[in-house]
Amino acid sequence: MLSATALSCIRGERRLFSGLDLDVGPGEWLHVQGENGAGKTSLLRILASLSPPAEGEIRWRGEPIAHLAEDYRRELLFLGHHGAVKEELTPYENLILAARLDGSELDEVEALKALARFGLRGREDLAVRFLSAGQKRRVLLARLAVRKATLWILDEPFTALDVKAVEMLSGLIVEHVTQGGIAILTSHQAIPLPNGKIIMVGA
Amino acid sequence: MNATLAPILAIIRRDLLLAMRRKSEVLTALFFFIIVVSLFPLGIGPETALLRKIAPGVIWVAALLATMLGLARLFAPDHADGTLEQMVLSPSPLGLLITGKIAAHWITTGLPLVLLAPVLGIQFDLDGGALGIMVVALLLGTPLLSLIGAIGAALTLGLRGGGVLLSLLVLPLYVPALIFGAGAVEAHISGLGAGGHLSLLAALLALAVFFAPWATTAALRIAIE
Amino acid sequence: MSNRIVNWFKYASPQSFYPLAGKLIPWFWALAIVFTVAGLYITFFAAPTDFQQGEGYRIIFIHVPAAWMSMFIYIVMAGWAGLGLALNTRLSGMMAQALAPTGAIMAFLSLWTGAFWGKPMWGAWWVWDARLTSALILFFLYIGFIALQAAIDDPRRADKAGAILALVGVVNVPIIYFSVKWWNTLHQGASVSLTKAPTMAATMLWGMLIMALAFWMYSIAVALTRVRAIILEREAHTEWVKDLPEVQGAKQ
Amino acid sequence: MNWESPAAFFAMGGYGLYVWGSFGVCAVLMIVEPILASKRRKDILRSLRRERIAEQLDPQ
């Protein structure tokens, strides 16, 4: 479903990687590995169509993503280093507004259910800036749970999560993949997920 | 709901909600405007005829500066927390979302200036007709300031010394708005009629509505790459 | 026809433009010097004394070409910038970057000479004349362009951001010009204009045109010199730069 | 010929300061700018050459 051929990436004057091929289908997940500064984040951003590759092409369902534009973005969920969580807003508002930004309405029950699932019950109406770092990450996970997307691209999703949250996130990813979704992620720690594809980035 | 309008409204509602949560930013710009305008008579002297003459220019220059104040924070918070990436990746066209952000910026910084300007005009002894023209001119001109300013804010996003650079880029582009905006009131006072000025201001606004979100979007994509 | 297009694209790469520019520079310098000498001759010896403005009017022989060039270079710069955005050619951004300082100097010269003309004619170093005011704003636009590019480390981003600014600027330059002009007529500004000298004799017109050509050739020559430096800076790590004879030669 | 003597030429009918002030600054800028531009190229060439020599010294 998502395939890339001969990708290369140049940052500043440095060539991070070149001739990179990858291919992930429904029900598969891909672990992007490599040293610090090897270009893992750059690769994910290129795959998410945030920045163009220096060379090479990415296809989604056989079509170049540059042509698909919003049809690709509708099926994509990207989670970067910063989680796009607004500190001034409550977890509930964050969920509702993020959904609206994606062009969909999220109903109240669904939002509250997702927040409860990630242990944020009782924190729904507290501004995010009063939450702990781990709780902030959980708001993100709740967004993952409510967003209907086929392709997940997650950059270091396990950072700043406690043991229980790690379990929850890996549960989410497994659920997503077994339902025919695709996940591409980076992680500097061991991932408690079975049967992943692995790709190494770097010269 | 209309497919074009929905994303714009969604962003406006979100940004207004955020502005409510950090009221101090909005109020700072507003009080800056009031203070700058009130300082001029202290520097120049209380002579009514002179004050009436300089009032439109003073209020417009103060409005330019007050708009500049919030401009650096137009995209910076969204850039810092990753929301801007999500906007680029949203299925809704980025241009519409950006238009929404610019509209919200105008509602939180431009509109209060328009509403407050008559009060400040009275301080400068402007009569009712002149005040009315000034409000209309500001109503047409302040969205123009937000639209042009957004281009500068996007170009300087995440750069060192961004704030100062932003003024350097944007203030020269504000010159036509200043000339026609302040000119409208002056033309009315001198009996020439403000119609010409106001229609030119409206024409500039139409041009900017069409052109500025496009340029801003292009600049944001570059900044995010 | 198609051959010609291929040729153009060949020279659009920095690698082939670098030696081409090197070959062209001396010719443009030669032309610049010839036109300058001819222009200066007309300025000081062929053109008669103006009966109204005396000898002071001779300043317009450099003021008007500088003002023309400052506007013209901005348009060319925006053209290169737009080309770079549309076709994603590396050379375009470098050309725009190379032109900006020359344009800024031209804008500065038109301000400076305008002030030196204005002092004896108007009695003040600075008059809010439409032409001077818009030259001042154009100067600010150049400074903004240069400052923006200087603030961005990644050359690709600098090129693109600069391109957008230049395009926004080029849309605004005529608007600014006409708005300032309108503002000026409303406020009953100076009645003596810099360019509409009362007696626009044929020799004066010729002198101005030849001086404009001299400025033009100068601008091309200096921009090409600068673009060669920029090409080397940007492409410093490529093989073709390392193989250049001027890099290979151990001493100057 | 317009000028009776070199002194008259430099006096410019009383406008000497203004005429020479304009032409002088113009000449200075137009001499300095090309020098700076070619210096910029020479600087980068010098550093490229230095880099090259350093590479040759390096056995790798």
For the record, the structure tokens of B69 come out as 């104040």
pLDDT for C199: 53
Inter-chain residue contact D15 with C55, CB threshold 8 Å: yes
CA distance C13 to B222: 22
With respect to residue C144, please indicate whether it lies within any of the assigned structural domains: yes
**At residue B19, does pLDDT exceed 80?**
yes
Q: In this predicted model, what pLDDT tens digit does every residue of B26-82 receive, in sequence order?
A: 899 999 999 999 999 899 888 888 888 889 999 999 999 999 988 988 999 999 888
pLDDT for A98: 86
CA distance A40 to A33: 7
pLDDT for C252: 43
B204 touches chain C (CB under 8 A): yes
Q: In this predicted model, what pLDDT tens digit does every residue of D6-54 receive, in sequence order?
A: 787 877 777 888 888 899 999 999 999 999 999 999 999 988 888 888 8
Confidence grade of residue D60 (pLDDT, cut at 50, 70, 90): low
Residue ranges per structural domain of chain B: 2-224
Crossing angle of helices C90-122 and C202-234, rounded to 10°: 140
Matching residue, tokens 């699932």 = A117
Crossing angle of helices C14-41 and C202-234, rounded to 10°: 150
CA distance A199 to A202: 10
Assign A198 to helix, strand or coil: strand
The more confident residue out of A153 and A119 is: A153
Q: Which residues of C touch B162 (CB under 8 A)?
A: 151
Query: Please, do chains B and D touch (3+ CB pairs < 8 Å)?
Result: no
Inter-chain residue contact A84 with B86, CB threshold 8 Å: yes
Write down the mean pLDDT value for chain B: 90
pLDDT for B2: 67
Strand A2-11 relative to strand A55-60, pairing:
antiparallel
Q: Which residues contact C79 (CB under 8 A, 6 or more apart)?
A: none
Sheet of A2-11, strands arranged across = A14-24, A2-11, A55-60, A63-64
Q: Which of B63, B64, B38 is nearest to B51 (CA)?
A: B38
Among the residue ranges A35-39, C199-203, D3-7, the one predicted with the least confidence is: C199-203
Number of domains making up chain C = 1
With respect to residue C114, please indicate whether it lies within any of the assigned structural domains: yes
Question: Domain residues for C150?
Answer: 17-251
Q: Which residues of A touch C237 (CB under 8 A)?
A: 13
The more confident residue out of B186 and B149 is: B149
Chain A: residue nearest C152 by CA? Answer: A12
Q: HEC states along chain B?
A: CCCCHHHHHHHHHHHHHHHHHCHHHHHHHHHHHHHHHHHHHHHHCCCHHHHHHHHHHHHHHHHHHHHHHHHCCCCHHHHHCCHHHHHHHCCCCHHHHHHHHHHHHHHHHHHHHHHHHHHHHHHCCCCHHHHHHHHHHHHHHHHHHHHHHHHHHHHCCCCCCHHHHHHHHHHHHCHHHHHHHHHHHHHHHCCCCCHHHHHHHHHHHHHHHHHHHHHHHHHHHHHHC
Inter-chain residue contact B85 with A127, CB threshold 8 Å: no
Q: In this predicted model, what pLDDT tens digit does every residue of B120-165 receive, in sequence order?
A: 998 888 888 889 999 999 999 999 999 999 999 999 998 887 788 9
Q: How many other C-beta atoms can be found within 10 angstroms of the C-beta atom of residue A160?
A: 16
List C residues 105-164 in contact with A (Cβ-Cβ < 8 A): 153-154
Q: Which of C112, C23, C98 is nearest to D36 (CA)?
A: C98
**At residue C5, does pLDDT exceed 60?**
no
Give how far C118 is from chain B: nearest CA, Å: 23
Q: Which residues of C touch A12 (CB under 8 A)?
A: 153-154
Nearest Cβ partner for B18 among A74, A78, A86: A86
List B residues 1-40 in contact with A (Cβ-Cβ < 8 A): 6-7, 10-11, 14, 17-18, 21-22
Cβ atoms of C56 and D15 within 8 Å: the answer is yes
At C201, give phi and psi (nearest 5°): -65, 160
**At residue C3, does pLDDT exceed 90?**
no
Give how far C215 is from chain D: nearest CA, Å: 9
Inter-chain residue contact C161 with B222, CB threshold 8 Å: yes
Q: Which helix (H) or strand (E) holds A154?
A: strand A151-155
pLDDT for A101: 83
Q: Which helix (H) or strand (E) holds A153?
A: strand A151-155
Cβ atoms of B66 and B31 within 8 Å: the answer is no
Chain A: residue nearest B100 by CA? Answer: A101
Q: Which residues of C touch B219 (CB under 8 A)?
A: 161, 164
With respect to residue C1, please indicate whether it lies within any of the assigned structural domains: no
Nearest Cβ partner for C222 among D15, D34, D48: D34
List B residues 15-54 in contact with C (Cβ-Cβ < 8 A): none
**At residue A200, does pLDDT exceed 80?**
no
**At residue C96, does pLDDT exceed 90?**
yes
- Reported ipTM: 0.87
CA distance B205 to A199: 51
The predicted model gives A55-66 an average pLDDT of 88
**At residue C1, does pLDDT exceed 50?**
no
The more confident residue out of A197 and C224 is: C224
Inter-chain residue contact A102 with B90, CB threshold 8 Å: yes
Chain D: residue nearest C29 by CA? Answer: D34
D12 touches chain C (CB under 8 A): yes
CA distance B102 to B148: 10
Inter-chain residue contact D18 with C117, CB threshold 8 Å: yes
For the record, the structure tokens of C163 come out as 């391109």
Give how far A14 is from chain C: nearest CA, Å: 10
Chain B: residue nearest C179 by CA? Answer: B176
With respect to residue C25, please indicate whether it lies within any of the assigned structural domains: yes
**At residue C2, does pLDDT exceed 60?**
no
Assign C85 to helix, strand or coil: helix
Structural domains of chain A sorted by starting position, each given as residue range(s) with its CATH number in brackets: 1-75+149-203 (3.40.50.300), 85-148 (no CATH)
The more confident residue out of B194 and B175 is: B175
With respect to residue C8, please indicate whether it lies within any of the assigned structural domains: no
A105 touches chain C (CB under 8 A): no
Q: Which residues of C touch B159 (CB under 8 A)?
A: 148, 151-152
With respect to residue C9, please indicate whether it lies within any of the assigned structural domains: no
Chain A interface, best mutation among C85, C156, C160, by max A CB count within 10 A: C156
With respect to residue C11, please indicate whether it lies within any of the assigned structural domains: no
Q: How distant, in Å, are the alpha carbons of A37, A43, A53, A202 from that of A16?
A: 8, 9, 11, 6
CA distance B40 to B177: 21
Read off the pTM.
0.88
